[in-house]
Structures are given as C-alpha cells and as structure tokens.
Amino acid sequence: AGNGDGQHQPDGQASEVERAAAALRAGGLVILPTETVYGLAADAANPRAVAAVYQAKGRPSFNPLIAHVADVEAVRRIAVLDERGEALAAAFWPGPLTIVAPVRDAGAVSDLARAGLDTVAVRVPGHPLSRALLAAFGGPVVAPSANRSGRPSPTTYADAIEETGPASAAALDGGACRVGLESTVVALLPGEPARLLRPGSVTRAQLEAVVGPLAEAEADAKRSPGRLALHYAPDAPVRINEITAEPDEAFLAFGRSDSPFNLSPTGDLAEAAANLFAMLRAADRTKPSAIVVAPIPDEGLGEAINDRLKRAAGYVG
C-alpha cells in the first residue's frame, strides 16, 4: 500500500505494480484504483480467479464482469468493435466508458466472467496505476467494483480495503477516485441501435454526439443483469428528492446548506459525483435513522447520480 497519493514514490510504486501483476498471474485478487471507483481485479482468462472475485464480493449470481485492457488494440483482440465502437474508443478511451460488443476471443475472457454470454464488456481505464498494472500483466483483467455485494462502491483506498481487502493478495493505493461513479456502459450489437445500459460520467449527450440517438435500456434489464435494486444501498434507508430532514436523519445537501454532508456546496455535478459514495458511507457511519438526499438536477452527469441514488433508495429494479 502507498501513502494515499498516486503521484509520489514512483520507484516504490513500480515494484508494487510488479508485485500486483505477479499476484494476478498466480490467480490472486488485486485491489485496483481506477478513475471511476476501486475495482477487485483478477486474471480474466482464469476461471478460478474469476470465481474468487464473485465469492469475495458475495454476488448472489454470476453477473458478467468488465474486462479491462491497456489499449484499444487489446480491445480489438477480444471484442468485435464496429464503426461506432471505433468512434467511441477514439473519443473516450482511456476513460470511464465500457462497451458491450460481440466476443471475438472467448478464451481471453472466461465464460464465467461473461456469465456465458456471447458478448463481452470491455474498458480501457485512464488511471495511471490501472494502466501500469494492465501493461505489466499483459492480459485482460476483470474488475467489478471492490465493494461486497449490495454496498456502495469504494472510491477511496481505505474504503476498498474495508470492503474486500482481506480477500485480496495485493492492493494499489491510487488516492481518491476522480470520477466517483462506475463507468458508463453502452451496448453496440449488430443490427441494433446503440443502447445505454448504465449511465455514467460519459453522458448521454456526449455519446449521442458520436453515435447518434441511443435506444432505451429500461425494457432490457437482462442485457445488464447486474443492475439490481438496492445495489448501492448503505445500511440506513435512503430517501431522495427532499429539501429538509428530521434531526435524527442525515441530510446530504447539494448547493448551499448548513448540513455537515454536502455533495457540492457550489452545485457542481462532477464534484457531487466524486463525493457521492464516500459521503453516503460517511453519513451511514453516524447511524442516522435515514439518509435524506437533496434534489439533484437530472441533466448531464446528474442522470448517472440520480440513477445510483434511485437504486440506493430501492426505487429501480
């Protein structure tokens, strides 16, 4: 583990990256910082390692995982990227975008990691430590968020260690995650319009500027089977779109407020996204009777924030 600052001690980090790559080769799990959230990484081609990820998270069923690779050439080796995929890759990779596409090399990402589907989810992350680990390891790495199932995704090293540290053979400290929400997931399947499966910090408008109008994913839950209600729930019940809270409740403000929990005092959506999961956890630690969240505008990045909040509140299946 480092010191919470991804920029210092380059020599120490180089050997930590090597140790983490060796742990992956040995079938072990690695706590991996990305620009979105911390992941629990394993060798995508090793079914036993992938099974250990599901076990460590306590996932109720085998939801498919995202294969993380170092660059777009590596993506083309495992998935079939059409013109739309190439355009999205050029616009947003490395970065917080995941593309679901037909699988090309079924051996590179084990059946278990794909939950038996003939498609694969792929992403080229932008965080320097995830890039360094992927380069050192050389193959695709699955990395679901490093939380135990049903808990908020970890966005700091300490939260990741608290969630799945005991199950990991190595851990890389990349500091606080810049984005703070999981990647945008878009499906590009032959003969179908591009489909938004999970909103994220690459917004609907940004995607549509590249691939044209998106199809709705709502009627299509089985294409992204990981999206369960209460997926992001803290221990306290969550209510959203409220202006005030009772004294025994924790209020997560957005914009000017006296509340000790404020997603963004200036009303900045990127700041609110980066703070969301860490602040849900911080509020939860005060053992409130409920966590009450201020209204968040539903435009741009707000769509992804509200998606996660509705899930935390149990509104979405």
| Residues near Mg ion, by CB under 5 A | 145
Q: Is 252 in the site for ligand TXA (CB under 6 A)?
A: no
Range in contact with ligand TXA (rule: CB under 6 A) among 30-38, 78-86, 104-112, 294-302:
30-38
Nearer to ligand TXA, 115 or 240 (CB): 115
Q: Is 293 in the site for ligand TXA (CB under 6 A)?
A: no
Q: Is 264 in the site for ligand TXA (CB under 6 A)?
A: no
Nearer to ligand TXA, 36 or 164 (CB): 36
Q: Is 238 in the site for ligand TXA (CB under 6 A)?
A: no
Q: Is 39 in the site for ligand TXA (CB under 6 A)?
A: yes
Nearer to ligand TXA, 46 or 224 (CB): 224
Q: Is 168 in the site for ligand TXA (CB under 6 A)?
A: no
Range in contact with ligand TXA (rule: CB under 6 A) among 62-70, 257-265, 295-303, 306-314:
62-70
User: Shortest distance, CB of residue 144 to Mg ion, whole angstroms?
Assistant: 5
Residue type, 25: R
Q: Is 64 in the site for ligand TXA (CB under 6 A)?
A: yes
Residues lying near ligand TXA in the complex (CB under 6 A) are found at 34, 36-37, 39, 63-66, 98, 100, 114, 117, 119-121, 123, 125, 143-145, 182-183, 185, 197-198, 223-227
